[in-house]
A and B are shown apart, each in its own frame.
Chain A
Amino acid sequence: MFRIVREAIEPAALESAVRSGDGGAVTFVGIVRSRADDGRPVTGLSYEAFEPMAIREFRIIAAEARERFGDVAIAIVHRIGELRVGEIAVAVMASAVHRGEAFDACRYAIDEVKRRAPIWKEERYADGTADWRANP
């Protein structure tokens, strides 16, 4: 499951990617924080994506995770549009026969999504201003 969505993400839906025979599944959810890295109060975020390229990047990241960690199943869903504090922006699920590979693959996938998927966020601040924020 590799998707860009405009509606609320239901993390449990990613578990449909878990295969019969898998013994462990790890799901990471990224949530809109109430404060920016510089401490400013945030009221919400606006995300946009270059959708076809983002989906393809999700698939490539999943293939890389399988090369690194073996037989893992991966699901990646990222929401775009206007999000409020506390809403889920991204969910990544990794499952494998054993938990170690599932944890490692999940961590790898979310790190790579943040590092290179063509997705952008604009932070909206309590004082009415807004700013595009790149990942470090």
Chain B
Amino acid sequence: MRIRVLAFARLRELLGAPEITLELPEGARVVDAWSALAQGCSELDEQRASTRAARNGNLVAFEEPLADGDELAILPPVGGG
């Protein structure tokens, strides 16, 4: 399957791009997408505990299954206001 990853703030800087396309095996979950991203970026993996994931705009657990065409946003701790 192919998914689109959106990264924000510090996570965007660590990944070096605001948007990345990932090819993942069928049955992949959010945590698999995270592992694929973190493989090339150990600093990213250090942010795992404080990162939330949104699948197609809805917050989900890292165990959430993904589907082809999904948009996965990875969100660091917020700082608005």
Number of residues of chain A lying within 8 A (CB) of chain B = 27
CB-contact partner of B79 in A52, A110, A134, under 8 A: A134
Distance (Å) between the CB of B10 and the closest chain A CB? 5
Chain B 65-79 interface mask (CB, 8 Å, partner A; 1/0):
000000001011111
A sample of 15 more A-B contacts (CB under 8 A), given A30-B81, A116-B78, A135-B78, is A48-B12, A50-B6, A50-B73, A53-B57, A90-B80, A113-B80, A117-B80, A117-B81, A118-B75, A118-B80, A119-B79, A120-B79, A134-B50, A135-B79, A135-B81
Contact of A89 with B9 at beta-carbon distance under 8 Å, contacts A50-B73, A50-B75, A53-B73 already known: no
Interface residue ranges of B1-37 to A (CB < 8 Å): 6, 8-10, 12
